[in-house]
Structure 1
Amino acid sequence: MKNTTLTTSWGAPVGDNQNSMTAGSRGPTLLQDVHLLEKLAHFNRERVPERVVHAKGAGAHGYFEVTNDVSAYTKAAFLSEKGKRTPLFVRFSTVAGENGSADTVRDPRGFAVKFYTEEGNYDIVGNNTPVFFIRDAIKFPDFIHTQKRHPVTHLKNPDAVWDFWSLSPESLHQVTILMSDRGIPATLRHMHGFGSHTFKWVNAEGTGYWIKYHFKTEQGVKNLSPELAAQIAGENPDYHTEDLFNAIEAGDFPAWKLYVQIMPLEDADTYRFDPFDVTKVWSQKDYPLIEVGRMVLDRNPENYFAEVEQATFSPGTLVPGVEVSPDKMLQGRLFAYADAHRYRVGANHNALPINRPKCPVHHHQRDGQMRPDSNGGGSVYYEPNSFGGPAEAPQHKPAPYEVNGLADSTPYDENDHYTQAGDLYRLLSVEERARLVQNIARAMKPVTRDDIKQRQIEHFYKADPEYGTAVAEALGLPVPAAAK
């Protein structure tokens, strides 16, 4: 079949659909990349009114208590002293399935936390995995399309899933995690959570640090076998939702310890992996986990729709002392998540009770559909003004960081997609490796084209020859000569 030229919705040819336009190879992303903005904006409007991703979810209220003084690294008020408690709301979710899908499918789990701090809300919007399938937001709509249904059959499409992954080798690390035992958590209480992206903490003196978040479950990590997961999916598709609700109702409050990895800013230029690439992790030998606090969930929602369904999270919901990094996937999410909520819930989604900050709010945003509050009353509605209205506070301006390079759509400088996936494979026990290969083979057998299978086998082989050979044998295919 002859290839046709990919175009924008208005017919202009697209020169690069793999990399967003950034200031230098590391970023940040440029607003002038109209192709990226069009893809993300259109993608956010493809489903009504269900979330495009993370549609099936469960949530609970709780609190966060600081257990270690981290004020040397961040001026965030809610982390300012040991013993301080902050109310929060958490939403867990599957990623690809619809609102009525089963809880026990093989899928990453969303792990979103909303802290109601005295300086405004702060959202950590991550997953139960420390990495992701792609590292540039321009590929996100295409990736999620492969996880959805075929436009003709309306069935899940393994050809699309593995075709995309095999053509996107950066996905290998996350694919290995997904196909391992960790791909199906036993319950929402028995899994870790991660911020996944790199963020920046800034202290009171203005010194910055790159950081990564790790929520470690106090219940221990437990997973389901594919056979038991399939049985539960048929008998009780809402198993995880029910388990979380019943545990809290019974007073068995689930808890997680929050840790961070901290990297000096200058290390970003010399570390052996690009620290802003969300398909990579930082070695804990290089940057050990530092305890921050403890999250406890102790109250169920009173109304699922009002709280869980209408809850909106965005990695761009920040407080002083927490800033973003030039991570390209994060940069795209800063726009896409808030834009999705404006479309799905409405322009005033952040004024709903579940999303509304618990501190005073003063801004000049007015009107819009379904305004649930006083709409600012008769207060000043613009800035700058001469009438004592809300004004900017320069002391809270984000700390600057240096950018350089050409405005171009270039990938990250580091293109090693295999080392960390191979390291993960070699960390697994013999039994865990066997189950990993079995899960991969089960998922890949429905793929109708052998060239897609062999292209993916080549990636497994490059991560570890044993890994690739085992998958090839399970599929009854040879290891491609190019892999060797």
Structure 2
Amino acid sequence: MNKKNESNTLTTAFGKAVDDDQNSLTAGERGPVIMQDVHLLEKLAHFERERVPERVVHAKGAGAGGYFEVTADVTKYTKAKFLSEVGKRTEVFARFSTVGGERGSADAARDPRGFAIKFYTEDGNYDMTGNNTPVFFIRDPLKFPDFIHTQKRNPATNCKDANMFWDFLSLTPESIHQVTILFSDRGTPATYRNMNGYSSHTYKWYNGNGDYYWVKYHFKTDQGIENLDRHQAEKMSGSDPDHATRDLYEAIENGHYPSWTLQMQIMTPEQAENYNFDIFDVTKVWPHEDCPPIEIGKLVLNRNPENYFAEVEQAAFSPGNLVPGITISQDKMLQARVFSYHDAHIHRLGTNYHLIPVNRAKNAPENSYQRDGFMRVDGNGGSGPNYWPNSFNGPEPDINAADPLYKVSGYAARTPYNHPNDDFVQAGNLYRNVMTEQDREHLVDNIVSHLSNALQRIQLRQTAIFYKADPDYGKRVAKGLGLDEDEVKKLAEMTAKERENATQQ
């Protein structure tokens, strides 16, 4: 690492000192994020422009078209028209991807998998931008650019760097749940067809009466879960780096249309208010015993793209593409993504990316006052007005399109998460109660293989976090790395800050 500058105070691009680089500015402890957080906006906007023209994340992917069919009545929960009746079908386009690698990277890399779906509804396009895991590494968007930097390449060597990777994670204990999933065999799914998809984030559904519910999406593969172990994934990366891309295309080409059953977890506001953790924390799952999933629909992919660039490479998904009946929650990561995804697409594809056929709202054409810009290839609004209000019969706002109101309160401040010990509970439960003995053996082997390339002080700090999730978990990793178990236990009993100080150079 480079030597520290004479002044070691973190600043914005224009030299203003930054008071907190871990917590976004929110209205009250639980959000929402507020727009006056210029540090967050500057950080995200710069991050999205670091790579041209490849996607900063999710660069390597495959896609296909198909349909979504409603199989259960959910009109009690949402007024979304595409969900309004059993048997109704909506055209979709889906894209699957690895997250950290470049376009030429291997499909079998250990990485989360993007799972994005664009629904071409009569109320406009609705995008569900999820992953194949139900949680994420961090809960605050201010950390996101830093996290992704550690998953990419060392700025000096231009190589993947285990020290960068584990240094950040070991200093960010909230990542332990996702790390445990990633380093299980679920981190290397056999194909895109053999993995689940999750919204990860909590969304709000609301009905015609204004009643609302908090929801999470679970797309369960009908092909069954299949994963590669570490050795199979490494072999596949060398022998056929495009295996998952090829598999999806050939399955559809041969008439073996992949499908997923959509299950929803639905929680009332009253349940959420008194729940034992923050339901908007994307590092957590909602236990199924508290909130059983209900089956509501089927996703089927039955059409390959005619041209990869036109459809897959130019497909642009955003969690801000919503329809009446569905809106976002106070989840800080989700709120930032509403800005970040759209902004990244404007940078990568241009201000009129919404006119590209794969992104166009096929069943609800644009009717706005946005004009001009690069690659405006339609009529550009013709002779109609380009401002509002006007008296020339231009499109008018519809008050009935408003989302339900909700109350916010509290101080505008950078508020840290109040219950850090919660970070270890679900990771420990996953290790003890969900994984088989073989799963645990593979998990530890996968971690040791990767973490062994990091400095010992980073190994100790990260292994202490595994220990906090479950002592057996930490002990096994410590043994695999040849670390002193007593030292690991001692570090696990420290606070995060004490642990950081104890393992500095």
Secondary structure of 2:423's partner? Answer: coil
Correspondence for 2:354 among 350, 355, 365: 350
The CA distance in 2 between the partners of 1:42 and 1:2, in whole Å, is 22
**Residues 202, 331 of structure 2: 8 Å contact kept:** yes
Q: What is the deviation of 1:358? A: 1.1
Q: What is the deviation of 1:2? A: 5.7
Q: What is the deviation of 1:61? A: 0.2
Correspondence for 1:474 among 471, 480, 485: 480
Q: What is the deviation of 1:221? A: 0.3
Residue 91 of structure 2 corresponds to residue 82 of structure 1: no
The CA distance in 1 between the partners of 2:437 and 2:289, in whole Å, is 24
Correspondence for 2:244 among 232, 237, 240: 240
**Residues 132, 196 of structure 2: 8 Å contact kept:** yes
Secondary structure of 2:246's partner? Answer: helix
The CA distance in 1 between the partners of 2:366 and 2:374, in whole Å, is 19
What letter matches 2:491 in structure 1? A
**Residues 202, 208 of structure 1: 8 Å contact kept:** yes
1:388 — aligned with what? 393
The CA distance in 1 between the partners of 2:163 and 2:203, in whole Å, is 35
Distance change >3 Å, CA 2–CA 374, structure 1 → 2: closer
The CA distance in 2 between the partners of 1:403 and 1:459, in whole Å, is 34
**Residues 229, 442 of structure 2: 8 Å contact kept:** no
Q: What is the deviation of 1:372? A: 2.1
Residue 160 of structure 2 corresponds to residue 178 of structure 1: no
The CA distance in 1 between the partners of 2:319 and 2:4, in whole Å, is 41
2:443 — aligned with what? 436
1:453 — aligned with what? 459
1:420 — aligned with what? 426
Q: Deviations over 1:318-337 (max 9, x none)?
A: 00000100100001101000
What letter matches 2:443 in structure 1? L
Q: What is the deviation of 1:14? A: 0.9
Residue 414 of structure 2 corresponds to residue 405 of structure 1: no
Summarize the alignment of residues 65-464 of structure 1 with structure 2, pairs less than 5 Å apart.
Answer: 65-359=69-363, 360-415=365-420, 416-426=422-432, 427-447=434-454, 449-464=455-470
Worse-superposed segment, 404-413 or 120-129: 404-413
What letter matches 1:422 in structure 2? G
**Residues 135, 328 of structure 1: 8 Å contact kept:** yes
**Residues 44, 340 of structure 2: 8 Å contact kept:** yes
Secondary structure of 2:92's partner? Answer: strand
What letter matches 1:13 in structure 2? A
The CA distance in 1 between the partners of 2:195 and 2:335, in whole Å, is 26
Q: What is the deviation of 1:343? A: 0.2
Q: What is the deviation of 1:25? A: 1.1
Correspondence for 1:483 among 486, 492, 495: 492
Q: What is the deviation of 1:12? A: 1.3
Uncovered stretches (5+) of structure 2, i.e. residues with no partner: 494-505
The CA distance in 2 between the partners of 1:210 and 1:130, in whole Å, is 15
The CA distance in 2 between the partners of 1:346 and 1:104, in whole Å, is 31
What letter matches 2:339 in structure 1? F
The CA distance in 2 between the partners of 1:419 and 1:407, in whole Å, is 29
**With structure 1 as the length reference, what TM-score do the two structures score?**
0.99
What letter matches 1:401 in structure 2? Y
The CA distance in 1 between the partners of 2:429 and 2:194, in whole Å, is 24
The CA distance in 1 between the partners of 2:110 and 2:175, in whole Å, is 16
The CA distance in 1 between the partners of 2:426 and 2:270, in whole Å, is 23
2:498 — aligned with what? none
Correspondence for 1:63 among 60, 67, 71: 67
The CA distance in 1 between the partners of 2:415 and 2:147, in whole Å, is 19
Worse-superposed segment, 281-290 or 382-391: 382-391
The CA distance in 2 between the partners of 1:232 and 1:226, in whole Å, is 10
Count of matched residue pairs: 483
1:51 — aligned with what? 55
Q: Deviations over 1:437-461 (max 9, x none)?
A: 01000010110x2111111111111
Worse-superposed segment, 94-103 or 427-436: 427-436
Residue 30 of structure 2 corresponds to residue 26 of structure 1: yes
**Residues 249, 300 of structure 1: 8 Å contact kept:** yes
Worse-superposed segment, 450-459 or 171-180: 450-459
Superposition CA RMSD, Å: 1.0
Secondary structure of 1:308's partner? Answer: helix
**Residues 422, 463 of structure 1: 8 Å contact kept:** yes
Q: What is the deviation of 1:57? A: 0.4
**With structure 2 as the length reference, what TM-score do the two structures score?**
0.94
What letter matches 1:440 in structure 2? I
Secondary structure of 2:193's partner? Answer: helix
Secondary structure of 1:473's partner? Answer: helix
The CA distance in 1 between the partners of 2:479 and 2:277, in whole Å, is 32
Q: What is the deviation of 1:291? A: 1.2
The CA distance in 2 between the partners of 1:373 and 1:221, in whole Å, is 44
**Residues 352, 372 of structure 1: 8 Å contact kept:** no
Identity over the aligned pairs, expressed in percent? 60
Uncovered stretches (5+) of structure 1, i.e. residues with no partner: none
Q: What is the deviation of 1:383? A: 1.7
Secondary structure of 2:248's partner? Answer: helix
The CA distance in 2 between the partners of 1:400 and 1:184, in whole Å, is 42
The CA distance in 1 between the partners of 2:68 and 2:372, in whole Å, is 34
**Residues 126, 196 of structure 1: 8 Å contact kept:** yes
Q: What is the deviation of 1:59? A: 0.2
